[in-house]
Amino acid sequence: MAEGLSPFEINIPKNTLDDLVGRLRRTRFAEDFGNEDWSFGVPGSYLRALVGYWVSQYDWRTQEAAMNRFGHYLAELDGVPIHVVQEPGHGPAPMPLILTHGWPWTFWDYEQLIGPLSDPAAFGADPSDAFDVIVPSLPGTAFSSPLRTEGIGVLATADLWLKLMRDTLGYDRFAAAGGDSGAFVTARLGHTYPDSIIGIHLNFPATATMGALSTVRPEDYSPEEQQYTAGLAHSRGTAAHMAVHVEDPQTLAWAMNDSPAGLAAWMVERRRNWSDCEGDVERRFTKDQLLTSVSLYWLTATFHTSVRFYAESFRTPWPLVHDRLPPIEVPTAVAVFPRELLRVPRRFMERQANLWRWTVMPRGGHFAPSEEPQLIVEDLRAFFRDLR
Protein backbone atom coordinates (compact mmCIF):
# COMPACT_ATOMS: atom_id res chain seq x y z
CA MET A 1 0.00 0.00 0.00
CA ALA A 2 1.33 3.42 -0.96
CA GLU A 3 2.40 5.85 1.73
CA GLY A 4 -0.33 8.38 2.38
CA LEU A 5 -3.18 5.93 1.79
CA SER A 6 -5.23 4.48 4.63
CA PRO A 7 -7.31 1.31 4.14
CA PHE A 8 -11.01 2.00 4.31
CA GLU A 9 -14.06 -0.25 4.65
CA ILE A 10 -17.52 1.02 3.88
CA ASN A 11 -19.69 0.47 6.94
CA ILE A 12 -22.61 2.85 7.30
CA PRO A 13 -23.80 3.04 10.93
CA LYS A 14 -27.12 1.32 11.64
CA ASN A 15 -28.65 4.46 13.12
CA THR A 16 -27.98 6.29 9.84
CA LEU A 17 -29.79 3.55 7.91
CA ASP A 18 -32.65 3.56 10.42
CA ASP A 19 -32.97 7.34 10.07
CA LEU A 20 -33.20 6.97 6.29
CA VAL A 21 -36.02 4.44 6.54
CA GLY A 22 -37.86 6.61 9.04
CA ARG A 23 -37.63 9.66 6.77
CA LEU A 24 -38.82 7.64 3.78
CA ARG A 25 -41.85 6.41 5.72
CA ARG A 26 -42.72 9.99 6.69
CA THR A 27 -42.37 11.37 3.16
CA ARG A 28 -44.91 14.11 2.48
CA PHE A 29 -45.64 13.44 -1.17
CA ALA A 30 -46.84 16.30 -3.32
CA GLU A 31 -50.13 16.02 -5.18
CA ASP A 32 -49.65 15.14 -8.84
CA PHE A 33 -51.98 14.91 -11.83
CA GLY A 34 -51.74 14.74 -15.61
CA ASN A 35 -48.13 13.68 -15.34
CA GLU A 36 -47.92 9.96 -16.07
CA ASP A 37 -45.83 10.77 -19.15
CA TRP A 38 -43.23 12.65 -17.02
CA SER A 39 -44.09 15.90 -18.83
CA PHE A 40 -43.90 17.82 -15.53
CA GLY A 41 -41.09 15.78 -14.00
CA VAL A 42 -41.10 12.60 -11.93
CA PRO A 43 -44.67 11.24 -11.57
CA GLY A 44 -46.02 10.63 -8.10
CA SER A 45 -46.93 7.07 -9.00
CA TYR A 46 -43.34 6.23 -9.93
CA LEU A 47 -41.79 7.99 -6.95
CA ARG A 48 -44.19 6.36 -4.48
CA ALA A 49 -43.36 2.94 -5.88
CA LEU A 50 -39.62 3.62 -5.76
CA VAL A 51 -39.79 4.85 -2.17
CA GLY A 52 -41.88 1.81 -1.23
CA TYR A 53 -39.22 -0.46 -2.69
CA TRP A 54 -36.49 1.49 -0.88
CA VAL A 55 -38.25 0.93 2.44
CA SER A 56 -39.33 -2.68 2.07
CA GLN A 57 -36.99 -4.45 -0.36
CA TYR A 58 -33.77 -2.53 -0.96
CA ASP A 59 -30.82 -3.87 1.06
CA TRP A 60 -27.94 -1.43 1.51
CA ARG A 61 -25.81 -4.04 3.27
CA THR A 62 -25.83 -6.24 0.15
CA GLN A 63 -24.61 -3.32 -1.95
CA GLU A 64 -22.06 -2.38 0.69
CA ALA A 65 -20.64 -5.91 0.67
CA ALA A 66 -20.31 -5.79 -3.13
CA MET A 67 -18.37 -2.52 -2.91
CA ASN A 68 -16.09 -3.90 -0.22
CA ARG A 69 -14.92 -6.68 -2.54
CA PHE A 70 -12.55 -4.07 -3.94
CA GLY A 71 -9.76 -2.23 -2.16
CA HIS A 72 -10.87 1.13 -0.75
CA TYR A 73 -8.51 3.77 0.58
CA LEU A 74 -8.59 7.29 1.94
CA ALA A 75 -6.02 10.00 1.35
CA GLU A 76 -5.70 13.68 2.14
CA LEU A 77 -4.28 15.80 -0.66
CA ASP A 78 -3.68 19.51 0.02
CA GLY A 79 -6.19 19.25 2.86
CA VAL A 80 -8.84 17.68 0.63
CA PRO A 81 -10.14 14.21 1.64
CA ILE A 82 -10.14 11.75 -1.25
CA HIS A 83 -11.64 8.27 -1.41
CA VAL A 84 -10.21 5.91 -3.98
CA VAL A 85 -10.81 2.37 -5.18
CA GLN A 86 -7.57 0.70 -6.26
CA GLU A 87 -7.58 -2.68 -7.97
CA PRO A 88 -4.14 -3.98 -9.04
CA GLY A 89 -3.87 -5.40 -12.52
CA HIS A 90 -3.27 -9.07 -13.25
CA GLY A 91 -1.05 -9.28 -16.30
CA PRO A 92 2.55 -8.97 -17.48
CA ALA A 93 2.68 -5.15 -17.35
CA PRO A 94 -0.52 -3.51 -16.11
CA MET A 95 -0.99 0.11 -17.19
CA PRO A 96 -2.15 2.52 -14.47
CA LEU A 97 -5.55 3.97 -15.38
CA ILE A 98 -7.57 6.54 -13.45
CA LEU A 99 -11.33 6.62 -14.13
CA THR A 100 -13.19 9.81 -13.19
CA HIS A 101 -16.97 9.97 -12.75
CA GLY A 102 -19.35 12.92 -13.04
CA TRP A 103 -22.72 13.89 -11.50
CA PRO A 104 -25.06 12.28 -10.55
CA TRP A 105 -22.63 9.44 -10.99
CA THR A 106 -20.49 7.93 -8.25
CA PHE A 107 -17.37 5.79 -8.28
CA TRP A 108 -19.77 2.80 -8.36
CA ASP A 109 -20.82 3.60 -11.91
CA TYR A 110 -17.52 1.93 -12.83
CA GLU A 111 -18.43 -1.25 -10.95
CA GLN A 112 -18.68 -3.37 -14.09
CA LEU A 113 -15.41 -2.05 -15.54
CA ILE A 114 -13.09 -2.68 -12.61
CA GLY A 115 -12.89 -6.49 -12.93
CA PRO A 116 -12.58 -6.76 -16.73
CA LEU A 117 -9.99 -3.98 -16.90
CA SER A 118 -7.85 -5.18 -13.98
CA ASP A 119 -8.06 -8.91 -14.69
CA PRO A 120 -8.91 -9.42 -18.39
CA ALA A 121 -7.94 -13.10 -18.37
CA ALA A 122 -10.67 -13.82 -15.81
CA PHE A 123 -13.15 -12.44 -18.36
CA GLY A 124 -11.80 -14.34 -21.35
CA ALA A 125 -9.56 -11.56 -22.67
CA ASP A 126 -5.83 -11.05 -23.17
CA PRO A 127 -3.93 -10.55 -19.88
CA SER A 128 -1.57 -8.15 -21.66
CA ASP A 129 -4.48 -5.67 -21.69
CA ALA A 130 -4.50 -5.44 -17.87
CA PHE A 131 -4.71 -2.12 -16.02
CA ASP A 132 -4.07 -1.05 -12.48
CA VAL A 133 -7.51 0.49 -12.01
CA ILE A 134 -7.86 3.57 -9.84
CA VAL A 135 -11.36 5.02 -9.31
CA PRO A 136 -11.50 8.06 -7.01
CA SER A 137 -14.64 9.77 -5.82
CA LEU A 138 -14.75 13.39 -6.95
CA PRO A 139 -13.94 15.83 -4.13
CA GLY A 140 -17.04 16.42 -2.05
CA THR A 141 -18.83 13.34 -3.37
CA ALA A 142 -19.67 10.26 -1.29
CA PHE A 143 -16.65 9.17 0.74
CA SER A 144 -14.41 12.02 -0.50
CA SER A 145 -15.78 14.06 2.36
CA PRO A 146 -16.22 16.22 4.31
CA LEU A 147 -15.07 18.85 1.83
CA ARG A 148 -14.56 22.26 3.45
CA THR A 149 -12.07 23.74 0.98
CA GLU A 150 -13.19 26.40 -1.47
CA GLY A 151 -12.21 26.45 -5.12
CA ILE A 152 -12.31 22.70 -5.82
CA GLY A 153 -13.65 22.22 -9.35
CA VAL A 154 -12.39 20.70 -12.59
CA LEU A 155 -9.02 22.48 -12.63
CA ALA A 156 -8.15 21.82 -9.00
CA THR A 157 -9.27 18.19 -9.29
CA ALA A 158 -6.93 17.58 -12.23
CA ASP A 159 -4.09 18.88 -10.05
CA LEU A 160 -5.19 16.63 -7.18
CA TRP A 161 -5.33 13.59 -9.47
CA LEU A 162 -1.72 14.18 -10.52
CA LYS A 163 -0.72 14.28 -6.86
CA LEU A 164 -2.73 11.12 -6.21
CA MET A 165 -1.28 9.16 -9.11
CA ARG A 166 2.30 10.42 -9.11
CA ASP A 167 3.09 11.42 -5.54
CA THR A 168 0.84 9.09 -3.55
CA LEU A 169 0.60 5.99 -5.75
CA GLY A 170 4.01 6.37 -7.40
CA TYR A 171 3.12 6.28 -11.09
CA ASP A 172 5.42 8.46 -13.19
CA ARG A 173 3.06 8.16 -16.15
CA PHE A 174 -0.53 6.97 -16.30
CA ALA A 175 -3.62 6.78 -18.49
CA ALA A 176 -6.87 8.60 -17.75
CA ALA A 177 -10.51 8.23 -18.77
CA GLY A 178 -13.80 9.78 -17.78
CA GLY A 179 -17.29 10.92 -18.58
CA ASP A 180 -19.45 13.97 -17.79
CA SER A 181 -17.49 16.39 -15.57
CA GLY A 182 -14.96 13.58 -15.16
CA ALA A 183 -14.26 13.91 -18.87
CA PHE A 184 -13.32 17.57 -18.35
CA VAL A 185 -11.00 16.58 -15.48
CA THR A 186 -9.46 14.01 -17.82
CA ALA A 187 -9.11 16.53 -20.65
CA ARG A 188 -7.38 18.98 -18.30
CA LEU A 189 -4.95 16.27 -17.22
CA GLY A 190 -4.08 15.70 -20.88
CA HIS A 191 -3.68 19.44 -21.49
CA THR A 192 -1.85 20.46 -18.32
CA TYR A 193 0.37 17.44 -17.71
CA PRO A 194 1.30 15.88 -21.07
CA ASP A 195 4.60 14.53 -19.74
CA SER A 196 2.74 12.46 -17.13
CA ILE A 197 -0.22 11.27 -19.20
CA ILE A 198 0.03 8.27 -21.54
CA GLY A 199 -3.27 9.08 -23.22
CA ILE A 200 -6.86 10.02 -22.42
CA HIS A 201 -10.18 8.37 -23.24
CA LEU A 202 -13.38 10.44 -23.18
CA ASN A 203 -16.97 9.22 -23.36
CA PHE A 204 -18.13 12.84 -23.35
CA PRO A 205 -16.61 15.33 -25.83
CA ALA A 206 -14.70 17.37 -23.25
CA THR A 207 -12.14 20.00 -24.17
CA ALA A 208 -9.31 21.78 -22.36
CA THR A 209 -11.49 24.89 -21.97
CA MET A 210 -15.27 25.21 -21.80
CA GLY A 211 -15.16 28.08 -24.28
CA ALA A 212 -13.85 25.79 -27.00
CA LEU A 213 -17.27 24.20 -27.35
CA SER A 214 -18.63 27.46 -28.77
CA THR A 215 -16.22 27.25 -31.71
CA VAL A 216 -17.91 24.35 -33.48
CA ARG A 217 -18.52 25.38 -37.11
CA PRO A 218 -21.40 24.26 -39.34
CA GLU A 219 -18.90 23.03 -41.92
CA ASP A 220 -17.30 20.76 -39.29
CA TYR A 221 -20.17 18.31 -39.58
CA SER A 222 -19.84 15.48 -42.06
CA PRO A 223 -23.04 14.33 -43.80
CA GLU A 224 -23.25 11.45 -41.34
CA GLU A 225 -22.91 13.86 -38.41
CA GLN A 226 -25.65 16.29 -39.42
CA GLN A 227 -28.06 14.36 -37.23
CA TYR A 228 -26.04 15.47 -34.17
CA THR A 229 -27.45 18.99 -34.35
CA ALA A 230 -31.03 17.71 -34.35
CA GLY A 231 -30.58 14.89 -31.88
CA LEU A 232 -30.39 16.79 -28.61
CA ALA A 233 -34.11 17.04 -27.82
CA HIS A 234 -33.83 14.01 -25.56
CA SER A 235 -31.50 15.89 -23.21
CA ARG A 236 -34.46 17.42 -21.41
CA GLY A 237 -33.74 19.23 -18.19
CA THR A 238 -30.12 20.04 -19.00
CA ALA A 239 -30.56 23.83 -18.96
CA ALA A 240 -32.39 23.85 -15.61
CA HIS A 241 -29.93 21.38 -14.14
CA MET A 242 -26.87 23.44 -15.09
CA ALA A 243 -28.46 26.75 -14.05
CA VAL A 244 -29.40 25.74 -10.52
CA HIS A 245 -26.22 23.73 -9.88
CA VAL A 246 -24.02 26.60 -11.01
CA GLU A 247 -26.03 29.52 -9.63
CA ASP A 248 -27.76 28.23 -6.47
CA PRO A 249 -26.27 24.90 -5.37
CA GLN A 250 -26.56 25.55 -1.65
CA THR A 251 -30.18 26.67 -1.86
CA LEU A 252 -31.09 23.41 -3.57
CA ALA A 253 -29.02 21.49 -1.03
CA TRP A 254 -31.20 22.48 1.92
CA ALA A 255 -34.08 20.50 0.41
CA MET A 256 -32.03 17.60 -0.89
CA ASN A 257 -30.19 17.10 2.39
CA ASP A 258 -33.53 16.88 4.24
CA SER A 259 -35.59 14.62 1.97
CA PRO A 260 -34.30 11.32 0.59
CA ALA A 261 -37.40 11.02 -1.58
CA GLY A 262 -36.70 14.46 -3.05
CA LEU A 263 -33.08 13.54 -3.65
CA ALA A 264 -34.16 10.36 -5.42
CA ALA A 265 -36.56 12.29 -7.65
CA TRP A 266 -33.86 14.79 -8.66
CA MET A 267 -31.25 12.12 -9.42
CA VAL A 268 -33.43 9.46 -11.02
CA GLU A 269 -35.01 11.96 -13.41
CA ARG A 270 -31.56 12.64 -14.81
CA ARG A 271 -30.90 8.94 -15.24
CA ARG A 272 -34.13 8.66 -17.19
CA ASN A 273 -33.74 11.79 -19.31
CA TRP A 274 -30.11 11.30 -20.23
CA SER A 275 -29.74 7.55 -20.75
CA ASP A 276 -30.57 5.42 -23.76
CA CYS A 277 -33.77 4.07 -22.19
CA GLU A 278 -36.58 5.42 -24.40
CA GLY A 279 -38.36 6.86 -21.38
CA ASP A 280 -38.20 3.73 -19.22
CA VAL A 281 -35.34 4.27 -16.79
CA GLU A 282 -35.49 0.70 -15.49
CA ARG A 283 -34.66 -0.63 -18.93
CA ARG A 284 -31.13 0.60 -18.22
CA PHE A 285 -30.86 0.63 -14.44
CA THR A 286 -32.43 -1.67 -11.89
CA LYS A 287 -34.10 -0.18 -8.83
CA ASP A 288 -31.13 -1.40 -6.80
CA GLN A 289 -28.69 0.44 -9.08
CA LEU A 290 -30.73 3.63 -8.93
CA LEU A 291 -31.13 3.53 -5.17
CA THR A 292 -27.49 2.64 -4.52
CA SER A 293 -26.45 5.76 -6.38
CA VAL A 294 -28.92 7.90 -4.43
CA SER A 295 -27.94 6.21 -1.16
CA LEU A 296 -24.26 6.99 -1.67
CA TYR A 297 -25.13 10.68 -1.74
CA TRP A 298 -27.70 10.49 1.07
CA LEU A 299 -25.77 8.34 3.52
CA THR A 300 -22.67 10.52 3.21
CA ALA A 301 -24.66 13.80 3.24
CA THR A 302 -22.66 15.09 0.29
CA PHE A 303 -25.26 16.52 -2.06
CA HIS A 304 -24.23 20.07 -1.16
CA THR A 305 -20.52 19.66 -1.87
CA SER A 306 -21.06 17.44 -4.89
CA VAL A 307 -23.15 20.08 -6.67
CA ARG A 308 -20.97 22.96 -5.55
CA PHE A 309 -18.40 21.35 -7.88
CA TYR A 310 -20.44 22.88 -10.74
CA ALA A 311 -20.17 26.42 -9.37
CA GLU A 312 -16.48 26.04 -8.62
CA SER A 313 -15.90 24.71 -12.14
CA PHE A 314 -18.10 26.76 -14.43
CA ARG A 315 -18.42 30.27 -12.99
CA THR A 316 -15.05 31.40 -14.34
CA PRO A 317 -13.09 30.67 -17.56
CA TRP A 318 -10.36 28.06 -17.61
CA PRO A 319 -7.02 29.50 -18.71
CA LEU A 320 -4.84 27.43 -20.99
CA VAL A 321 -1.42 26.58 -19.58
CA HIS A 322 0.24 26.62 -23.00
CA ASP A 323 -0.58 27.89 -26.49
CA ARG A 324 0.56 24.86 -28.45
CA LEU A 325 -1.88 23.19 -30.83
CA PRO A 326 -3.83 21.11 -30.35
CA PRO A 327 -4.45 22.12 -26.70
CA ILE A 328 -4.57 18.43 -25.71
CA GLU A 329 -1.34 17.00 -27.08
CA VAL A 330 -1.51 13.50 -25.66
CA PRO A 331 -3.12 10.68 -27.68
CA THR A 332 -6.89 10.99 -27.26
CA ALA A 333 -9.82 8.67 -27.87
CA VAL A 334 -13.45 9.74 -28.00
CA ALA A 335 -16.32 7.27 -27.68
CA VAL A 336 -19.46 8.79 -29.23
CA PHE A 337 -22.69 7.47 -27.73
CA PRO A 338 -25.93 8.15 -29.64
CA ARG A 339 -27.90 9.40 -26.61
CA GLU A 340 -25.17 11.52 -25.07
CA LEU A 341 -26.14 15.05 -24.02
CA LEU A 342 -23.67 16.63 -26.42
CA ARG A 343 -22.21 15.27 -29.63
CA VAL A 344 -19.67 17.23 -31.62
CA PRO A 345 -18.18 16.60 -35.07
CA ARG A 346 -14.94 14.76 -35.44
CA ARG A 347 -13.27 17.70 -37.22
CA PHE A 348 -13.87 19.86 -34.17
CA MET A 349 -12.26 17.34 -31.82
CA GLU A 350 -9.29 17.04 -34.18
CA ARG A 351 -8.63 20.75 -33.55
CA GLN A 352 -8.90 20.26 -29.79
CA ALA A 353 -6.88 17.09 -29.25
CA ASN A 354 -4.36 14.70 -30.73
CA LEU A 355 -7.18 12.43 -31.82
CA TRP A 356 -6.09 8.84 -32.30
CA ARG A 357 -9.42 7.07 -32.03
CA TRP A 358 -13.05 8.04 -32.72
CA THR A 359 -15.61 5.32 -32.04
CA VAL A 360 -19.28 5.83 -32.90
CA MET A 361 -21.15 3.45 -30.61
CA PRO A 362 -24.32 1.60 -31.61
CA ARG A 363 -26.21 2.42 -28.40
CA GLY A 364 -25.82 4.06 -25.01
CA GLY A 365 -26.22 7.45 -23.40
CA HIS A 366 -24.74 9.80 -20.84
CA PHE A 367 -23.99 7.11 -18.25
CA ALA A 368 -22.03 4.90 -20.63
CA PRO A 369 -19.88 2.97 -18.10
CA SER A 370 -22.99 1.69 -16.33
CA GLU A 371 -25.23 1.56 -19.42
CA GLU A 372 -22.81 -0.16 -21.80
CA PRO A 373 -19.83 -1.37 -19.75
CA GLN A 374 -18.68 -3.91 -22.33
CA LEU A 375 -18.51 -1.30 -25.08
CA ILE A 376 -16.41 0.97 -22.87
CA VAL A 377 -14.13 -1.89 -21.79
CA GLU A 378 -13.47 -2.94 -25.38
CA ASP A 379 -12.79 0.62 -26.50
CA LEU A 380 -10.41 1.30 -23.60
CA ARG A 381 -8.48 -1.90 -24.31
CA ALA A 382 -8.22 -1.20 -28.04
CA PHE A 383 -7.09 2.40 -27.61
CA PHE A 384 -4.49 1.89 -24.92
CA ARG A 385 -3.15 -1.31 -26.50
CA ASP A 386 -1.26 0.83 -29.01
CA LEU A 387 0.21 3.00 -26.22
CA ARG A 388 1.74 0.27 -24.10
How do the domains of the chain map onto residue ranges?
6-25+49-385
| CATH class of the domain defined by 6-25+49-385 | alpha beta
Identify the pLDDT of residue 230.
53
At 20-55, the pLDDT tens digits run 999 999 999 999 999 999 999 999 999 999 999 999
Please tell me the predicted confidence (pLDDT) of residue 236. 65
CB 312 within 8 A of CB 139: no
Q: What is the pLDDT of residue 1?
A: 57
Query: How confident is the model over 269-295, as pLDDT tens digits?
Result: 999 999 999 999 999 999 999 999 999
DSSP 164-211: IIIIIS--SSEEEEE-THHHHHHHHHHHH-TTTEEEEEESS---SSGG
Q: What is the DSSP letter of 7?
A: E
> Which pLDDT tens digit goes with each residue over 55-110?
999 999 999 999 999 999 999 999 999 999 999 999 999 999 999 999 999 999 99
Question: What pLDDT, on a 0 to 100 scale, did the predictor assign at position 170?
Answer: 97
**Structure confidence at residue 149 (pLDDT):** 98
Contact 321, 191 (CB under 8 A): yes
User: Can you give the pLDDT at residue 251?
Assistant: 97
- SS3 readout for 8-52: ECCCCCHHHHHHHHHHHHCCCCCCCCCCCCCECECCHHHHHHHHH
Contact by Cβ (8 Å): 321, 327: no
What percent of the chain stands above pLDDT 70?
Answer: 97
Mean pLDDT of the chain: 95
pLDDT of 86 reads: 98
**pLDDT of amino acid 233:** 44
d(CA 314, CA 331): 26
DSSP 78: T
What's the chain's length in residues?
388
Question: What does the alpha-carbon distance between residue 278 and residue 204 come to, in Å, rounded to a whole number?
Answer: 20
